Amino acid sequence: MGEITEIRLHGRGGQGVLFAATVIAEAAFLEGKNVQAFGLFGAERRGAPVAAFVRAGNNSVMPRCRIARPDLVVVFDSALSPDYVLNGLKKGGLLLVNSPAAPAAAAGYRTAAEHAIWSVDATGIAVRNNLWGAGIPVVNSAILGAVAKLGLYAFSTLHNVLQSKLPRSVAGNLAAAREGYLTVEESAKYAIT
């Protein structure tokens, strides 16, 4: 990834997408990177599609706009349209999908250009760790652990950020993050001709 790593996160309201973006940015910041994080939402409510954006890198000058050509796309809900979430993913970019299927491509996320596809069963992890919000599994901690495995920040840094942000529910969230870190799997690179 380049001097600035651009990340686009897609999910549904209530899954913790916006919280995850802020945690990713804080963890990267604690490791000395310049960061930017923001969400895209309006009158959405639980279950409606949401997106969040993170930039992290050594460059202190960053564009202030949505990310159209991300290095990494993180999908919190594999039922979202692959055409929508993959739009603009850079050639050679990474795709992380919340899916019990390994490879995640089984969920329809094969791509036209070659991309490394990673999958983690974040929903299963959230359920096992009793992480619920308004009746839906909150998958963000498992996803954050998986992102740490991709190398944007160290797991120990994520651990510290989660401890500071979730003091009342830290045990379950740390367990989910650890399981996400340990169980995320890389699939082969896919190309559809």
Mind listing the pLDDT tens digit of every residue in the chain (193 residues)?
458 999 999 999 888 899 999 999 999 999 999 999 998 866 657 778 899 999 999 988 888 889 999 999 999 998 888 888 888 999 889 999 998 876 545 456 665 456 788 999 999 999 999 999 888 899 999 999 999 999 999 999 999 999 999 988 899 999 999 999 999 998 755 443 2
Query: What's the pLDDT score for residue 103?
Result: 53
Domain boundaries along the sequence of the chain: 4-186
Separation of alpha carbons 140 and 23, rounded Å:
10
Query: What's the pLDDT score for residue 44?
Result: 58
Separation of alpha carbons 36 and 142, rounded Å:
22
What burial class does residue 124 get, using C-beta atoms within 10 Å of its C-beta: 0-12 exposed, 13-18 middle, 19+ buried? middle
Separation of alpha carbons 29 and 56, rounded Å:
8
Q: 16 with 139: CB under 8 angstroms? A: yes
Separation of alpha carbons 173 and 139, rounded Å:
9
Query: What's the pLDDT score for residue 106?
Result: 46
Query: What's the pLDDT score for residue 73?
Result: 95
Separation of alpha carbons 158 and 61, rounded Å:
25
Fold of 4-186: Pyruvate-ferredoxin Oxidoreductase; domain 3 (3.40.920)
What burial class does residue 100 get, using C-beta atoms within 10 Å of its C-beta: 0-12 exposed, 13-18 middle, 19+ buried? middle
C-alpha R_g of the chain:
15
Query: What's the pLDDT score for residue 174?
Result: 97
Q: 37 with 23: CB under 8 angstroms? A: no
Query: What's the pLDDT score for residue 188?
Result: 56
